[in-house]
Amino acid sequence: MKLRDFLSSKAVTLCFLGIGMVLCCGLMAAAGAGWRLVLLLAVGALLLIAAWLAVAFLLARRRIARLERLAEQMEEPYLLGELLPEPQDAVERAYFEVMKTVSRSAIGQVEDTRRAQEAYMDYVEQWIHEIKTPLTACSLILSNGGDPRKLRRELKRADNLTENILYYARLRTAEKDTVIRTVPVAAVINEAVKSQMELLLAAGIRVQVQGDFTVSTDDKALCFILKQLLVNCAQYCPGCTVAILAAEGKITVEDNGIGIPAHELPRVTERGFTGTNGRTRGSSTGMGLYIVRELCQRLNIDLMVESEQGRFTRVCLAFAALTKS
């Protein structure tokens, strides 16, 4: 810190000290004090002010130098707020509390960002291993004559995995990517079923679709949600029947498959949770229903999952912004 900057910070105090000294000298002169006495007192006051400024400047510069050394030594400078020296007066104490609040907020945001980044990298690494499976299968199919149906099925699996990671990457900016339109949900359901037809047929799954209503939502995101539910059916309950009902502002997707253990049901939408079915019936990233949950929250859709092991799994999407039945 330069002396000029320090004096500028004390300008108001020095101004009042100067005014006070002039008034005191004037009163003493008016009271009949000799000019020598007035001059002596003025010089003495100036010397005291100069000494005070010098000591205050040296102490302030030493404190700032200490803070600068701390900042240089720290690998994470945003943690400096936690190591600030104790305040010396009421004003500094107020600034100190503000800095503590700002520092803790910054630390919390940095930690949240770091955890999110680590989770994203873990998912990307897991996704790379997942995408190898359909790609390898495509190579084997082509090497053995190239059955078109099997090839389309594996390409659809790769397409689903790619769409998953794209939606996961967009979760942070979902508001910017969301386009709200008024759509009939039956058209969105039919599109989702049609897009997953290869996987559903290969898994021996029958799909029954009934009902319709009109709603204002992001039809692409809704289609992705429905596709993810159908992919889960194809993966976890081959040979079952899936009934999709659209009525009274709700889309219900129900299968008569293996169901979900009761103790795992509250966790099925957690990030990375695979559960017993995911571990015993092939590879699973545990990200599908997590992405579904996040998209539902952004689209103001209530997501409810019910299941009874060995009997059924029911997923209900309830729309708050219903246009008409």
Residues of the chain with pLDDT > 90: what percent?
26
Look at strands 322-324 and 312-319 and give their pairing: unpaired
What's the whole-number mean pLDDT along residues 26-36? 79
pLDDT, position 184? 94
For residue 29, what pLDDT is reported? Answer: 80
Kindly tell me if the per-residue pLDDT of 83 is higher than 70. Answer: no
Provide CB contacts within 8 A for 7, sequence distance 6+: 14, 53
Q: Of the segments 120-134, 182-196, 257-271, which one has the largest average pLDDT value?
A: 182-196
Check whether 282 has a pLDDT greater than 70.
Answer: no
CB 188 within 8 A of CB 226: yes
> In this structure, which amino acid lies at residue 199?
L
In this predicted model, which residue has the larger pLDDT, 45 or 241?
Answer: 241
pLDDT at site 237: 87
The confidence band for 314, taking pLDDT boundaries of 50, 70 and 90, is: very high
pLDDT exceeds cutoff 60 at 147: yes
Pick from 309, 308, 310, 275: which is nearest to 289 by CA? 275
CA 159 to chain centroid: 26
Which amino acid is residue 272, in one-letter code? G
Q: How confident is the model at residue 255 (pLDDT cuts 50, 70, 90)?
A: very high
Q: Residue 325 — very low, low, confident or very high, per pLDDT cuts 50/70/90? A: very low
Q: Out of 62-71, 146-155, 221-230, 304-313, which region has the weakest mean confidence (pLDDT)? A: 62-71
**Given this model, what pLDDT does residue 121 score?**
83
- Residue 122 is predicted with a pLDDT of 81
CB 314 within 8 A of CB 257: no
pLDDT surpasses 60 at 21:
yes
User: Mean pLDDT, the chain, as a whole number?
Assistant: 83
Looking at residue 230, its pLDDT comes to 94
Average pLDDT over residues 83-87: 67
- Please tell me which residue, 181 or 69, carries the higher pLDDT value: 181
Q: How confident is the model at residue 320 (pLDDT cuts 50, 70, 90)?
A: confident
Does residue 283 register a pLDDT over 70? no
Q: What is the mean pLDDT of residues 86-100?
A: 72
| 223: confidence class by pLDDT, cuts 50, 70, 90 | very high
* Model pLDDT, residue 220: 92
